[in-house]
């Protein structure tokens, strides 16, 4: 019988110790942040399925996006570190059912010319994520050390988790869509206001500070006028990616229990962005703003078919040093941004009271 069609044991699920799984399911069903959710799901399914590593993929039509890849001991890893990922997920999508491979060396279509220990998966399991019979994604798992690594209990544990994970992931995807800026894919301003209120409340209760940056792309109107709006949108996407990848580290997920959110990047509107820096002091927030302006100034950005250099200006305000009111914090950061633009652009300026 082909390894991809091997059936799980008929051992009833009630025979399993489901208490640890049930505790995880409670958390999964209440989590709306997609990144925290898929991290929680992957770490749990890897632990209980005897996998070395895993990936959660989200389907978009016939294409898929690898949302996150994790290793049992190394944490987050690059998707390219899993050579069989794309081929196995596509096969699962085409067949519409679970793929189980006991030994990749017996799979002529998937076995690499040279099997690299620790790099190629020997045992592979790929489970569909379905919501009301609709395929929304896949959970890919492999073991790089063992043949037949996924026994009947491992399969049952993995299937219980993925059955519940599918609904939670779809809910998180819908939540992300409602809070995401359509052009840049960072948060929109409405979501940002909620996060800022939460972070300031947290800082107030715990005697901490919270930095706020308002950022503007310098001379953006000229880019639109000279190159068109789509080229301008491409610049905004590049800036958004640079900002978010710089201030949001991979450890934010691990710190999620300590406060409402990690650093949050959002598009305020037009060519303006806003960033929350939880726990940042006045000096730390200003240093981050200066680092961002320097980083953007040193890069080339896509503008249609051209590559061009741009700059950003930033205004900085910090709770509670500048104010203890959320709305005033936004106004102060915006006023500092205005001063940065007037004083020559391409720089970061802290808020200072007038007079």
Q: In CATH terms, are 3-177 and 189-350 the same topology?
A: no
Confidence (pLDDT) at 10: 41
Query: Per-residue pLDDT averaged across 263-270, rounded?
Result: 90
The pTM is what?
0.65
Could you please state the CATH topology (level 3) that the domain comprising 3-177 is classified under: Beta-Lactamase (3.30.450)
Task: Say yes or no to pLDDT of 45 above 90.
Answer: yes
Asked whether the beta carbons of 297 and 239 are under 8 A apart, the reply is no
What pLDDT shows up at residue 16?
56
Q: Is 206 helix (H, G, I), strand (E, B) or coil?
A: helix
**pLDDT for the residue 133:** 87
Q: Give the least confident one: 163-177, 189-203, 224-238, 246-260.
A: 246-260
What value does the mean pLDDT take over residues 247-266? 53
User: In CATH, what is the architecture of 189-350?
Assistant: 2-Layer Sandwich (3.30)
Q: 164-209: per-residue pLDDT in tens? A: 889 999 998 888 888 889 899 899 999 899 999 999 999 999 999 9
pLDDT at 62 over 90: no
CA distance 345 to 340: 6
User: What tokens does 311 get?
Assistant: 């700059």
Q: Which has the higher per-residue pLDDT, 300 or 100?
A: 100
Share of the chain above pLDDT 70, in %: 90
Q: Average pLDDT for residues 112-117, to the nearest whole number?
A: 88
DSSP label at 108?
T
What residue spans define the domains of the chain?
3-177, 189-350
- pLDDT number for residue 304: 62
d(CA 274, CA 351): 15
Give per-residue pLDDT as tens, 326-339: 999 999 999 999 99
**Mean of pLDDT values over 7-32:** 64
Evaluate the CA torsion angle 318, 323, 327, 331 in order and state its sign. Answer: negative
């Amino acid at each position: 019988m082909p390894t991809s069609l091997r059936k799980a044991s008929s051992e009833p699920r009630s025979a399993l110790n489901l208490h640890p799984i049930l505790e995880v399911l409670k958390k999964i069903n209440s989590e709306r942040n997609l990144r925290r959710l898929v991290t929680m799901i992957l770490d749990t399914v890897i632990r209980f399925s005897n996998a070395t590593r895993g990936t959660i993929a989200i389907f978009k039509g016939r294409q898929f996006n690898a949302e996150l890849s994790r290793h049992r001991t190394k944490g987050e890893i690059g998707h390219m570190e899993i050579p069989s990922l794309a081929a196995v997920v596509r096969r699962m999508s085409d067949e519409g059912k679970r793929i189980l491979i006991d030994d990749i060396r017996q799979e002529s279509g998937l076995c690499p010319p040279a099997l690299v220990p620790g790099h190629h998966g020997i045992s592979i399991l790929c489970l569909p994520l379905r919501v009301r019979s609709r395929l929304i994604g896949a959970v890919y798992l492999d073991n790089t050390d063992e043949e037949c690594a996924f026994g009947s209990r491992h399969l049952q544990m993995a299937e219980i988790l993925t059955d519940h994970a599918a609904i939670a992931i779809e809910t998180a995807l819908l939540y992300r869509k409602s809070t995401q800026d359509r052009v840049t894919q960072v948060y929109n301003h409405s979501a940002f206001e909620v996060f800022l209120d939460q972070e300031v409340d947290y800082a107030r209760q715990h005697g901490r500070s919270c930095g706020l940056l308002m950022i503007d792309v310098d001379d953006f109107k000229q880019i639109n006028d000279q190159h068109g709006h789509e080229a301008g949108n491409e610049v905004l996407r590049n800036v958004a990616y640079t900002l978010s990848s710089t201030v949001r580290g991979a450890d934010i997920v691990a710190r999620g229990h300590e406060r409402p959110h990690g650093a949050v990047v959002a598009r305020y509107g037009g060519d303006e962005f806003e960033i929350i820096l939880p726990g940042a002091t006045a000096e730390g927030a200003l240093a981050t703003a200066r680092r961002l302006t320097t980083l953007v100034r040193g890069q080339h950005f896509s503008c249609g078919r051209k590559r061009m250099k741009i700059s950003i200006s930033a205004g900085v305000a910090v709770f509670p040093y500048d104010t203890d009111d959320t709305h005033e914090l936004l106004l102060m950061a915006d006023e500092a941004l205005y001063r940065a633009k007037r004083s020559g652009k391409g720089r970061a300026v802290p808020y200072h009271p007038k007079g």
